[in-house]
């Protein structure tokens, strides 16, 4: 029964996506989507947002989580509370706050792509930060740091050449999870008026019949690939719960 619930909508979408040509099954809808100039702008745009979000998230959260573990454990609770805050603020409420806060002088940055990336970093923060923190818990941060310091390493070297490689798996699973979130995200991109994949599918639903089915399947394959990679590289099953509905 669970299997039926899971597969029937996908099967329906898939069969529907093959019916773009009258009378026989074809991949016409897919070629239509791939050759659509809109798709060629908006899909790579989402990939770009996702990549920037991951880079920004890693650069911001790895040193933070490391610093909290090593030097200021009393900050753990407030930092964890902040990283969980996006669960309390639904995406639509969050973007409402962003738009209203940053759409009047002197803070007129609502049109900047940076705001979207910052917003995505916030949305993916609970997953990214926790993933990194779990990774740090598994290694002996203190000993590694002391060993590196006694060999004469500076903070940059410690972070990028000692800590990074040791929590590579955690960073990667956080990254792929963030990738899946950003690729499927609609609310932020729509209200900050930036090109992205999910708003593109929404537009297709309004204007086309078979193409949105093809785009839906593409998006599903993408999520499946991300989750598969996380499993293969050894991420935990607990980490794979996200929001953004």
Q: What residues from 107 to 136 belong to the interface with other proteins (CB under 8 A)? A: 115, 118-119, 121-122
Nearer to other proteins, 47 or 202 (CB): 202
C-alpha span between 212 and 130 (Å, rounded): 34
Residue 198 binds to other proteins (criterion: CB under 8 A) = yes
Residue (103 or 147) nearer to other proteins, CB: 103
Nearer to other proteins among residue 162 and residue 213 (C-beta): 213
Instruction: Decide if residue 26 touches other proteins (CB under 8 A).
Output: no
| Contact status: 34 vs other proteins (CB under 8 A) | no
Give the residue from 171, 163, 79 showing the smallest Cα distance to 132.
171
Choice between 151 and 155, CB closer to other proteins? 155
Q: How far is CA 144 from the centre of its chain?
A: 30
How far is CA 236 from each of CA 149, 169, 240, 244, rounded to the nearest angstrom?
A: 32, 10, 8, 20
Site for other proteins, residues 36 to 95, rule: CB under 8 A: 60-61, 63-64, 67, 79, 82, 84-95
Token pair for 51: 């990549």
Kind plus residue range of the DSSP H or E element containing 229: helix 211-232
| 167 contacts other proteins (rule: CB under 8 A) | no
Shortest distance in whole angstroms from residue 143 CB to other proteins: 24
Distance (Å, whole) CA 24 – CA 153 = 66
């Amino acid at each position: 029964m669970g299997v039926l619930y899971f597969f029937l909508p996908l099967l329906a979408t898939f069969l529907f996506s093959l019916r773009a040509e009258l009378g026989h099954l074809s991949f016409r809808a897919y070629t239509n989507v791939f050759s659509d100039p809109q798709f060629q702008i908006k899909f790579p745009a989402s990939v770009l947002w996702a990549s920037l979000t991951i880079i920004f998230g890693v650069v911001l959260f790895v040193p933070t989580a490391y610093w909290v573990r090593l030097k200021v454990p009393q900050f753990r609770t407030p930092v964890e509370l902040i990283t969980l805050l996006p669960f309390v603020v639904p995406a639509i409420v969050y973007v409402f706050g962003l738009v209203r806060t940053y759409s009047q002088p002197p803070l007129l940055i609502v049109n900047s792509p940076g705001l979207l990336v910052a917003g995505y970093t916030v949305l993916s923060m609970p997953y990214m930060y926790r993933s990194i923190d779990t990774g740090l818990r598994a290694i002996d941060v203190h000993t590694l740091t002391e060993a590196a310091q006694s060999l004469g390493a500076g903070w940059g070297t410690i972070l990028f050449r000692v800590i990074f490689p040791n929590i590579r798996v955690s960073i990667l699973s956080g990254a792929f999870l963030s990738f899946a979130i950003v690729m499927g995200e609609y609310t932020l991109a729509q209200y900050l008026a930036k090109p992205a994949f999910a708003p593109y599918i929404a537009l297709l639903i309004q204007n086309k019949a078979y193409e949105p089915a093809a785009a839906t399947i593409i998006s599903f394959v993408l999520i499946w690939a991300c989750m598969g990679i996380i499993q293969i590289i050894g991420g935990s099953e607990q980490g794979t719960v996200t929001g953004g509905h």
